[in-house]
Amino acid sequence: MRKGLLILFIIITSYQLNAQAPKYSNEFLAIGVGARALAMSNSVVASNNDVYSSYWNPAGLLGLKTNREVALMHSEYFAGIAKYDYGAIAFKLSDKSAGAVSLIRFGVDDIPNTSELIDGQGNINYNKVTTFSAADYAFMFSYARLTNIEGLSIGGNAKIIHRIVGDFGSSWGFGIDLSAQYVKNEWLMGVMFRDITTTFNAWSYNLDSKMKEAFTRTGNTIPINSTEITLPKVILGIGRNFNFGNDFNLLAEINLDFTTDGMRNVLIKSNTISIDPHLGLEFGYKNMVFIRAGLGNVQQETMPDNIKEYTYQPNIGLGIVVLKVLSIDYAFTDIGNQSIALYSNVFSLKYSFNSKKSKEK
């Protein structure tokens, strides 16, 4: 009966804790988009060259094969409780520039609010139970441009972040990403500077007297208006294409995530900078059928016998291109911790086409 109120307390309190400590801020933006990338354990910073580059490395937008590309993705976690959606459109601006607009939403909907279920006389009134959503939104505007150096392109994102907890609290934030890609023969290199300027989220709360009383009665701290910051993160990637005749090819890529928000449970860690390596493979046949695999999320965990061991997360996926314009991708993955989220099935679509104006030209 009090489950909905408990969920509300947990969500608002956790957001308040985030406002006090920068670690893991805006983590919904670290999950990744596109089943191809998720199957490859997010190891695509150097190789991504389509509409999904608006998230992974905006410099890769210069690789668009057509004038326009549209992408959609939907996935669910925690037995369908949390829903994660992504949509984007990318477009060529000229032979040397491209842009994209994208939207990310991660949310839990229909959470019961039972704060007024029981009145002051102890009477239960189920008509007083309402529902609300706790959701995170990111609106990204991307731009990429080819430089005068052969094979080198640069790009960037301007992103607006909006996070809500029903009518009880919300925040607005703004951040900038910068990136680059370099192609030399069969070698691919990329770098992504996320939140290079540090991203700020300004939180404001709107709790009525009854809600504040409920917080006090249950021993929870009443949230106050505050600012949450996301510190810079650098992702380096290097990959190589291997061709086997005219029909088969293999792409191998390794990425290194450098975080600056203190020690994390990753393979290489310190009090200032932590490094998280991950590897992805993509085997293709005639650029129509793809088999993908990845290895990442290397962590040190304490086993039941108190012995510490390193664990890792494998991912797999498939991709198929229909009539050279529609890409259907699938990944079997999770959001980082098998014991919490379990594995999920992720599907994404990409449609490539030329606008009427480009056809007329």
Identify the structural domains of the chain with CATH numbers, from first to last. 3-360 (2.40.160.40)
Which range in 5-9, 20-24, 151-155, 338-342 is most confidently predicted, on average pLDDT? Answer: 151-155
Percent of the chain with pLDDT over 70: 84
When the pLDDT of each residue in the chain is averaged and rounded to a whole number, the result is: 85
Task: Give the model's pLDDT for residue 342.
Answer: 65
- Integer Cα distance of 27 and 231 in angstroms: 11
Confidence bin at 260 (pLDDT 50/70/90)? confident
pLDDT, mean of residues 150-168? 93
Confidence bin at 227 (pLDDT 50/70/90)? confident
CA 320 to chain centre: 23
Output the pTM of the full model.
Answer: 0.84
91, pLDDT greater than 80: yes
76, pLDDT greater than 60: yes
Tokens of 274: 């932590």
Task: Give the model's pLDDT for residue 339.
Answer: 43
22, pLDDT greater than 80: no
In sequence order, the β-bridge partners of residue 200 are 174, 229
Q: Which of 84, 91, 79, 82 is nearest to 35 (CA)?
A: 84
Tokens of 248: 């088969």
Task: Give the model's pLDDT for residue 211.
Answer: 67
Q: Which long-range contacts (CB under 8 A, 24 or more apart) does 294-298 make?
A: 294/38, 294/39, 294/40, 294/41, 294/42, 294/43, 295/41, 296/41, 296/42, 296/43, 297/41, 297/336, 297/337, 298/266, 298/267
pLDDT, mean of residues 210-236? 78
> ∠ CA(225), CA(111), CA(75), 5° rounding?
100
338, pLDDT greater than 50: no
Q: Which of 5, 4, 6, 26 is nearest to 15 (CA)?
A: 26
Residue 45, classed as helix, strand or coil, is coil
Map tokens 């390596």 to a residue: 277
Q: In Å, how far are 16, 66, 180 from 336, measured between CA atoms?
A: 23, 34, 26
Handedness of CA 87, 93, 94, 98 (dihedral sign): negative
Q: Which of 234, 254, 244, 241 is nearest to 194 (CA)?
A: 234
Confidence bin at 360 (pLDDT 50/70/90)? very low
17, pLDDT greater than 50: no
Phi/psi of residue 253, nearest 5 degrees = -140, 140
Q: Which of 175, 133, 239 is nearest to 29 (CA)?
A: 175
Strand 199-205 versus strand 226-230 pairing type: antiparallel
pLDDT, mean of residues 148-158? 96
Task: Give the model's pLDDT for residue 119.
Answer: 65
- Integer Cα distance of 163 and 200 in angstroms: 12
Of 11-25, 76-90, 158-172, which range is least confident?
11-25
CA 229 to chain centre: 17
Of 125-129, 164-168, 186-190, 247-251, which range is least confident?
125-129
